[in-house]
């Protein structure tokens, strides 16, 4: 299992429903990261499932964008955590707001998926975050706490789970919270919700070359979950220079 505590910062690329075999090849040719060698920072690519095994010939780590709540059986179209493991995945994004919104992933389903990941030694990146109304009403912290409490697996630890704070209104919108708002929410999760456990928390939502540095330099931020900018190769390379 990936030893996440060995890393200082983690960068996770979420391709979402984008890519092709030729794009995957170009990506592997262009994106270089000395992640394993210096053991300081870590880069993980989450392409759509058909492209994951292509990365075996590179030194890039891979992850899934989602997994099944089921282990096996008559569930057409599903991909289990065991299958992700078989393909060489180290992590899996779970509870992304797009899964919650378009595929009805409830807190209960997310809880089951997180359990499956932990059972199969895949590190889940558990996504949480408030929508714009909840933020305007001053309920962001409560919403995040409720999401965490409703889905965190019983046996989670700072070695087997990563969190990602992704305010919904920031995803794909070009908007990001103020820098001190990001550190405030991350500190709140670490100190008040998780009682100072050393759980890694990534930030996600409209991270780009022009804004990533201020975010990743925050001591409360353990890395970035990047969507749109991760599939623009030139843009993404700039981010990987940090
Ligand atoms: P974005 O997506 O970087 O395109 O805003 C982030 C995410 O959805 O994980």
User: Per-block average pLDDT, block size 10, for the chain (242 residues)?
Assistant: 93 98 96 63 96 92 98 98 97 98 97 98 98 96 97 95 97 95 97 91 98 96 98 95 80
Question: In terms of Cα–Cα distance, which of 57, 48, 63 is closest to 25?
Answer: 57
CA 189 from centre of chain: 16
With a 6 A CB cut-off, is 4 part of the ligand 1 pocket? no
- Is the CB of 230 inside a 6 Å radius of any atom of ligand 1? no
Task: Please give the number of the atom of ligand 1 that sits closest to the Cα of 225.
Answer: 9
Of all protein residues, the one whose alpha carbon is nearest to atom 1 of ligand 1 is: 227
Number of residues in the chain: 242
Confidence (pLDDT) at 32 = 79
DSSP state of 18: -
**Mutation pick for ligand 1 pocket among 228, 230, 231, 239 (CB with most ligand atoms within 8 Å):** 228
DSSP designation for 68: -
Q: Which two tokens stand for residue 72?
A: 């096996």
Cβ–ligand 1 contact at 148 (below 6 Å): no
Model pTM above 0.75: yes
pLDDT for the residue numbered 37? 45
Decide whether any atom of ligand 1 lies within 6 Å of the 66 Cβ.
no
For ligand 1, is residue 231 a contact (CB within 6 Å)?
Answer: no
What's the pLDDT at 36? Answer: 43
Q: 189 burial class (0-12, 13-18, 19+ CB within 10 angstroms)?
A: buried
Do the beta carbons of residue 12 and residue 225 sit within 8 Å?
Answer: yes
Residue 71 neighbours by CB distance under 10 Å: 14
φ/ψ of 226, rounded to 5, equals -120, 125
Q: Ligand 1 mean position to 227 CA, how many Å?
A: 4
Task: Please give the distance, rounded to the nearest whole angstrom, from the Cα atom of residue 73 to the centre of ligand 1.
Answer: 32
Active-site residues, by number, are: 96, 166
Adjacent-strand bridge partners of 124: 92
Ligand 1 in reach of 176 Cβ (< 6 A): no
Q: Are 164 and 127 in contact (CB under 8 A)?
A: yes
Please give the pLDDT value at position 38: 57
């Amino acid at each position: 299992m990936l030893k996440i505590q060995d890393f200082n910062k983690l960068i996770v690329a979420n391709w979402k429903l984008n890519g092709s075999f030729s794009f995957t090849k170009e990506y592997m040719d262009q994106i270089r990261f000395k992640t394993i060698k210096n053991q300081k920072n870590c880069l993980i690519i989450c392409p759509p499932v058909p492209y994951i095994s292509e990365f075996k010939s590179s030194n890039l780590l891979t992850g899934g964008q989602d997994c099944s709540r089921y282990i096996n059986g008559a569930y057409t179209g599903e991909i289990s955590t065991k299958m992700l493991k078989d393909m060489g995945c180290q992590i899996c994004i779970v509870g992304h707001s797009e899964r919650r919104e378009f595929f009805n992933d409830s807190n209960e389903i997310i809880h089951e998926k997180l359990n499956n990941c932990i059972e199969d030694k895949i590190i889940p990146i558990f996504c949480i975050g408030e929508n714009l109304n909840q933020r305007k009403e001053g309920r962001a912290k409560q919403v995040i706490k409720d999401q965490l409490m409703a889905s965190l697996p019983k046996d989670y630890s700072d070695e087997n789970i990563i969190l990602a704070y992704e305010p919904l209104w920031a995803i794909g919108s070009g908007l990001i919270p103020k820098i001190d708002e990001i550190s405030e929410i991350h500190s709140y999760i670490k100190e008040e919700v998780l009682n100072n456990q050393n759980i890694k928390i990534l930030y996600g939502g409209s991270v780009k070359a022009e804004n990533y540095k201020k975010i990743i330099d925050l001591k409360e931020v353990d890395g970035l979950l990047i969507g749109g900018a991760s599939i623009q190769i030139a843009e993404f390379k700039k981010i990987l220079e940090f």
